[in-house]
Amino acid sequence: MTASKLISLYCLGGAGLAFWLLVRFPRFGPKSIVRAAAAVLAAFIVAAFVPLLLEASIAAGERTGGLIALLGLVLPTLTAIFWSAACLLRAFCGLLTGMR
Write down the pLDDT at residue 100: 52
Residue by residue, pLDDT tens for the chain (100 residues) are 888 898 899 999 999 999 999 999 988 889 899 999 999 999 999 999 998 888 888 787 776 777 888 888 899 999 999 999 999 999 988 877 765 5
Q: Which of 7, 89, 76 is nearest to 40 (CA)?
A: 89
Q: What pLDDT does residue 84 have? A: 95
Q: What is the per-residue pLDDT for 95?
A: 78
pLDDT score of 69: 82
pTM attached to this predicted model: 0.86
Q: Which residues contact 99 (CB under 8 A, 6 or more apart)?
A: none
50 CB neighbour count, 10 Å cutoff: 15
Residue 56 is predicted with a pLDDT of 83
Which residues neighbour 89 within 8 Å (Cβ) at sequence distance 6 or greater? none
pLDDT of residue 77: 94
